[in-house]
Amino acid sequence: MTISNQKGGVGKTTTTVNLAAAMAASGLRVLVIDMDPQGNASTALSIPHTSGTAGIYDVLIDGVPLAEVVQPCSQVPNLLCAPATIDLAGAEIELVPLVARENRLRRALQTYLDATESTIDLVLIDCPPSLGLLTVNAFVAARELLIPIQCEYYALEGLSQLLKNVELIQQHLNADLRVSTILLTMFDGRTRLASDVAEQVREHFGDRVLRTAIPRSVRISEAPSHGETVMTYDPTSTGALSYAEAAAEMRRQKEIA
């Protein structure tokens, strides 16, 4: 599953690492692939990602096997991460002349999943806030797309462009990709605006919108500075409980499907 929205600051990385931690805590074996050059997902999971560390850049550009860059998360058992280093910032340009440039992540991931001895139950791919070749690679590698939508005025702007890009990917590169899940983030129940945005999103996307919305939370913001997800930093906080419920809701949906 790819987590994407070209709008920045909507909670893509926060959603990726906390859903991953919640799913791992419930017994699944989860792999996070950090495709954002900022490496925030790697930071939140306490995975080293300084320049020179083997990461997803080496997989995409040099063909290094994914198994050689995947690292276990010390905070959460059953959680693995392929880190992003700052080198990934140049990958958009370096990918342009390469053969099958849109399929490089998909091939590396498929080879890894076929070869790994212990089953990976879920792969979550964190995307940069853009619709460039890194995001295209993530779309081509995934079967499902989760879109985090911030409960604010600009939330729906740009969403049509994202959905157009998804259609293009479906037509030309990955017919299996589908928008399966919409998650409302930064929800403030005290404001009419948040409720209005949530209502619009639910009208447009119907059952694909999770009933659980993620509230604004200081704990969620603090956790990465300690190299943790909010699930381990403060498991009883409203943010942690909301992500745990969202993960449980997603699992129930899959069982029904």
Mean pLDDT, to the nearest integer, of 78-96?
Answer: 93
Name residues whose C-beta falls within 8 Å of residue 74's C-beta, 6 or more positions apart in sequence: 46
- Measured on CA atoms in the order 18, 20, 21, 25, is the torsion positive or negative? positive
Whole-prediction pTM: 0.94
Instruction: Write out the DSSP string of 148-214.
Output: EEESSGGGGTTHHHHHHHHHHHHHHT-TT-EEEEEEEESB-TT-HHHHHHHHHHHHHHGGGB-S--P
Cα–Cα distance for residue pair 57/91, rounded to 1 Å: 7
For residue 257, is pLDDT > 60? Answer: no
Better-scored residue on pLDDT, 256 or 37: 37
Cα dihedral value 141, 231, 71, 129, nearest 10: 40
pLDDT score of 256: 53
| pLDDT tens, residue by residue, 138-190 | 999 999 999 999 988 777 777 888 899 999 999 999 999 999 999 999 998 78
For residue 19, is pLDDT > 90? Answer: yes
| pLDDT tens, residue by residue, 115-124 | 987 789 999 9
Q: Return the structure tokens found at 111.
A: 């080879």
Distances, alpha carbon 67 to alpha carbons 36, 58, 83, 182, in Å: 19, 12, 12, 30
* Share of residues in the chain with pLDDT > 90 (%): 71
Strand partners, 82: 33
Strand partners, 250: none
Backbone φ, ψ for residue 70 (5° rounding):
-70, 135
Cα–Cα distance for residue pair 147/129, rounded to 1 Å: 12
Q: 40 and 13 in contact (C-beta within 8 Å)? A: yes
| pLDDT tens, residue by residue, 181-235 | 999 999 987 888 888 888 989 998 899 999 999 998 899 999 988 989 999 999 9
